[in-house]
Structure 1
Amino acid sequence: MSHAQQVTEQAPPPRTVHGSAARDAAVALLIGVLAAALGLTPWWVTGATLPLQNLWANQVMPDQMPFSLLPLSQYEGITLIALLTTGGAIAGLAIRLWNPVHRGIAKWCAVGGVLFVQIAATVQSFMVLSNGLAGGKLAALYFFGMLGGVVLSIIASMVAALLISAKSRATTALGVGLVAVPAASWAVQWAVGLAGRSNMPIEVSTIAHWVPAVLVGCALAWCGLKPTRRVVVWVLNLVFLWVVPAVFTAVQSVLGTRVIAGDIPEMMLMGRQVLTAALGPDGGAGPTVLLALGVGLVGVAIRTIGARKASTQP
């Protein structure tokens, strides 16, 4: 066989690989777009009317506020974090379950899809906010403060997508621990969007309090304790479960007050005080951390027993 014939016969495989990579990239991009949209859907089902603003230029009724793809409001800070980070987490989980051949390409294309939707939603929402706010220093501080919070949430969304889509069980489990609290808040937003805040059963908030612990515990059980370095993932996830709710409480307390609005030193002081109290023994994190640890250890024990039984069977 001549050299030219060998080259001709070997040419199709690269084209096949290239086609497969392009197909994986296109599917992953679509996954990212749909995941980001799903992350924002709990807000969209409410009608996506911009919440009333304290610094709005004109006095209007709630139903007269303009359409906004994001719920921009200092009272909806935690909701914004939940909507954006959960979108990234859903994209990462979809890539993890799909396990494409060209994983690296697919992972980054999914991140690109999420980023496209979230940036588009951010641009549209802040244009609406900018057009309606009254002028002045306080309005500018509010605008750029909200923008900074949204940008940080989008970055957290990207991190969540990359962690959860990773091949390593430890890395995926770490990503689940990072987004467990926002994901529970996202689920609550579904209840709020469908039933209305005034009609939401009181049991929803009680269940939502324990959901992150169950998610973290299941992730730890799935991750396992071997090799030993995975203990680091356990420690970090339990720390996340302790710290993230405290940070959310501090952020919501600071953003939700009108008494010291615009007074940055006072807001920082209040945030530190609330955060310190939330991280303390009376903050309520102890039972949830213990529940996650218990679920993780029980899960590891069940998996170990099951593996031993499977190995002894003929």
Structure 2
Amino acid sequence: MEDLHDARATRRTPTGWFLLFGAAGGVAGLLPWLASGPFLPLQNLGEGQDPSRPGPFVLLPYSQYSIITIIVLLVVGGVLAGVLARSRGARPGVGRSLATVAGVVVVQVAAVVQTAVTTRAVLQERDESAVYLLLLTAVAVLAAVVAAVACLLVAAAPRAGAGIGLMVGAAAAGSWLGVLLFPPFSYESPFSALIPMLTYVSPVLVGLAIAWTGVASVGRVIAALVGLGLVWLVPALTTAIASAAGTRVLARDLPGMAEYGISVFRSASTIPEIVAPPLVTAVVVAVAGLIVRGLLAFRRRRAASPVPTAHG
């Protein structure tokens, strides 16, 4: 009956609404940056900038120091759009799901183009400026592609695929929340006491996504392993990218920057004191969620079973 209700709810929702769901998700993903005062950060290769005045309005924080922020704003937006679409039904169908993805793509392509054009206008006429802008735009486009795939998985895939999409969003959610609470390029925040807790936001959400997905099939078990892999590797990758891209000494040495980033990634992904706590948290939350889910399913089966009657 629940699946039938979901299917009817989906049929009653016009496809145009799913386009709006996608656009709404894309905009929601950008909200932490838009709420922070969305002005172009001071550019190392900029020309004619006044450090005492805000830069031009941009939809993404183009800067080598904000690469992770660019990625999470776009990825989380795609996942949120998929969640909005799936909330209208168990699986809204290919047409409506593609409409959701289209809504996300329109918003995110507009954000990338507007930011790239605005940034280009303030950069010096140098080869380094072209490389810098190209690399930042490539990062944004790649993140938008990941966002579109995650959106489609969450909106339209069977539960194992949808779970992977949710886990991708969960892995980015901690950094996204960090941008919301601690705006980029700001030096103080009323939420500073929450910084230690942000480390566990993504593991908890991944654990909940694993519990929602379940482990009743090979595909769902694989999805759970993917989620744990994200908990393990994404923080190390985030640290590596932020460390390498934020090192001005290596700004003109891309091979050296890549080598340094790989070194940081290896270190951050193999230190037990760093890796173990988030993984344990995700596993504990997932196991607890699966137990609760099993108990609720058992209660529903008991409630649905016929009550035996006595015959005299």
- Taking structure 2 as the reference length, the TM-score comes to 0.88
Bigger mean CA offset, 276-285 vs 47-56: 276-285
Aligned partner of residue 134 in structure 1, secondary structure: coil
Deviation string for 1:226-281 (max 9, x for gaps)? 12442111111101111111111111111101001121110111011001001112
Shift of the alpha carbon at 1:97?
A: 0.8
Paired AA for residue 48 in structure 1: P
Instruction: Kindly indicate whether residue 181 of structure 2 is the aligned counterpart of residue 191 of structure 1.
Output: yes
Aligned partner of residue 83 in structure 1, secondary structure: helix
Shift of the alpha carbon at 1:45?
A: 1.5
For the structure 1 residues 308 and 44, does the alpha-carbon distance in structure 2 shift closer, same or farther, using more than 3 Å as the test? Answer: closer
Give ranges in structure 2 of 5+ residues lacking alignment.
1-9, 308-312
Distance, in Å, in 1 between the alignment partners of 2:288 and 2:227 is 16
Paired AA for residue 204 in structure 1: L
Query: RMSD of the TM alignment (CA)?
Result: 2.1
Instruction: Kindly indicate whether residue 279 of structure 2 is the aligned counterpart of residue 289 of structure 1.
Output: yes
2:110 aligned residue (114, 117, 120) = 120
Shift of the alpha carbon at 1:44?
A: 1.1
Paired AA for residue 261 in structure 1: A
Distance, in Å, in 1 between the alignment partners of 2:302 and 2:147 is 44
Deviation string for 1:75-104 (max 9, x for gaps)? 111111111111101100001111288521
Alignment of 1:34-49 (within 5 A): 34-49=24-39
1:80 aligned residue (70, 76, 79) = 70
Size of the aligned set, in residue pairs, is 294
2:140 aligned residue (138, 150, 159) = 150
Bigger mean CA offset, 134-143 vs 254-263: 134-143
Q: Which residue of 1 aligns with 2:193?
A: 203
Shift of the alpha carbon at 1:158?
A: 0.5
1:252 aligned residue (242, 263, 267) = 242
Deviation string for 1:113-141 (max 9, x for gaps)? 11111111111111111111012121111
Bigger mean CA offset, 272-281 vs 54-63: 54-63
Q: Which residue of 2 aligns with 1:65?
A: 55
Deviation string for 1:153-183 (max 9, x for gaps)? 1111101101111342211211121121212
Paired AA for residue 79 in structure 2: A
Contact 2:36–2:183 (CA under 8 A) maintained in structure 1: yes
For the structure 1 residues 99 and 277, does the alpha-carbon distance in structure 2 shift closer, same or farther, using more than 3 Å as the test? Answer: same
Q: Which residue of 2 aligns with 1:15?
A: none
For the structure 1 residues 232 and 260, does the alpha-carbon distance in structure 2 shift closer, same or farther, using more than 3 Å as the test? Answer: same
Alignment of 1:84-163 (within 5 A): 84-99=74-89, 103-163=93-153
Paired AA for residue 145 in structure 1: L
Bigger mean CA offset, 53-62 vs 272-281: 53-62
Bigger mean CA offset, 299-308 vs 107-116: 299-308
Instruction: Kindly indicate whether residue 164 of structure 2 is the aligned counterpart of residue 174 of structure 1.
Output: yes
2:18 aligned residue (23, 28, 35) = 28
Aligned partner of residue 259 in structure 1, secondary structure: helix
For the structure 1 residues 102 and 266, does the alpha-carbon distance in structure 2 shift closer, same or farther, using more than 3 Å as the test? Answer: closer
Q: Which residue of 2 aligns with 1:9?
A: none
For the structure 1 residues 199 and 98, does the alpha-carbon distance in structure 2 shift closer, same or farther, using more than 3 Å as the test? Answer: same
Bigger mean CA offset, 77-86 vs 297-306: 297-306
Q: Percent identity?
A: 32
Alignment of 1:195-234 (within 5 A): 197-234=187-224
For the structure 1 residues 235 and 100, does the alpha-carbon distance in structure 2 shift closer, same or farther, using more than 3 Å as the test? Answer: closer
Contact 1:188–1:204 (CA under 8 A) maintained in structure 2: no
Distance, in Å, in 2 between the alignment partners of 1:100 and 1:238 is 25
Give ranges in structure 1 of 5+ residues lacking alignment.
1-19
Contact 2:79–2:150 (CA under 8 A) maintained in structure 1: yes
Distance, in Å, in 1 between the alignment partners of 2:155 and 2:246 is 35
Contact 2:33–2:60 (CA under 8 A) maintained in structure 1: yes
- Taking structure 1 as the reference length, the TM-score comes to 0.88
Aligned partner of residue 295 in structure 1, secondary structure: helix
Shift of the alpha carbon at 1:309?
A: 4.0
Aligned partner of residue 54 in structure 1, secondary structure: coil
For the structure 1 residues 220 and 113, does the alpha-carbon distance in structure 2 shift closer, same or farther, using more than 3 Å as the test? Answer: same
Aligned partner of residue 53 in structure 2, secondary structure: helix
